[in-house]
Structure 1
Amino acid sequence: MAGAESGSKKSVLFICLGNICRSPITEAVFLDIIKKKGQRDQWNVDSAAIGDWHVGGPPDKRTMKTLKKKGIENYQHVVRQINVEDFYNFDVIFGMDKQNIKDLKDIQPKGSKAVLEMLGTYDPECKLIIEDPYYGSRIEDFEEVFDHVVRCCEAYLKRIQTEAP
């Protein structure tokens, strides 16, 4: 889905290095949560990569296996790289680690509306960095990412609803 075309919708973009593990898991989790809350039509949600290594391809097989195991079966995504328009189209762009945020700050155009945040700042367990499971061989690493981003997304949504006028 593209960025926020409608000013009435809230919009979030989830970023990780390659858009095959952490950010698609987070996008799928966020979409699942807002769908269950009956809020899907109030949001524009997407995910993208810092780099272009996997553009046009699917998420990692372990990502999809984890989502299915956790009950999210209809998620579809084609990897894409962040672009300049994203900084104007999304309210918040979430990075998964400090390097993502540094990279985002390096490419963010002056005057763009997007707020850059680390998703982990919302973790009630105070685990700031959402670790990249790509290089490990354990499916449990992907499941840990899933559980971590569930906590963060739920806490973020709770804060947004608390701050709403």
Structure 2
Amino acid sequence: MAATGTKSVLFVCLGNICRSPIAEAVFRKMATDAGVVDKWRIDSAATSTYEIGNPPDHRGQACMKSHGVSMKHVARQVTKDDFMSFDYILCMDENNLSELNRKAKLVKNHHSKIELLGSYDPQKQLIIEDPYYGSDKDFEKVYEQCVRCCKAFLEMNS
């Protein structure tokens, strides 16, 4: 379990190489800039096994670099322990949400709050679309959505 006074958030998407590592990096930078990063446990994971062990997509890395956000992550799949140890599990779309809720049912007494990251978007864009088959512009859109959502989420939890 996390130490007292520590909050935790796990960002989740299908493969853990595009959307969730971007959200993780954006949130970590915001928490760092706000001086509260030591109060948070921040990670990201996948619902699938497709990309386990891989680094974030190069287009996502380029997008983050252009915004001065550092990103170091190796893709992993959500584990049963995640449902016990994270306060919040924030995912990107309805498929992630139904898969996480299905997996959570297999974990007795899990306490994670499973939500769409987009539910925090002040612009009410609930779904953060997968940019994998898209262009650099799609990664930029994911970045912007993550910035809005992570800012609102951090404000609600500070």
- Could you state the TM-score of these two structures normalised by the residue count of structure 2? 0.96
Alignment of 1:41-120 (within 5 A): 41-72=38-69, 74-108=70-104, 109-120=107-118
Partner deviation per Cα, 1:21-80 (whole Å, 9 max, x = no partner): 0000000000000000011100000000000111011011111011001111x3211110
State the 1:158 CA deviation.
1.3
Q: What is the total number of aligned residue pairs between the two structures?
A: 156
What is the letter of the counterpart of residue 153 of structure 1? C
The one-letter amino acid of 2:29's match is: D
Cα drift, residue 113 of structure 1? 0.8
Q: Measure, in 2, the Cα distance between the counterparts of 1:33 and 1:144.
A: 18
How large is the Cα RMSD of the aligned pairs? 0.9
Letter in 2 for 1:124: P
Moved over 6 A (4+): none
The gaps in structure 1 that reach 5 residues or longer are none
Q: What's the CA shift for 1:8?
A: 2.1
Which stretches in structure 2 are left out of the alignment for 5+ residues? none
Name the TM-score, length of structure 1 as normaliser: 0.92
Distance 1:6 1:97 in 2: 30
Which SS does the other structure have where 1:41 is aligned? helix
CA distance in 2, matches of 1:45, 1:7: 15
Residue of structure 2 in register with 1:121 after alignment:
119
Tell me the secondary structure at the aligned position of residue 85 of structure 1: helix
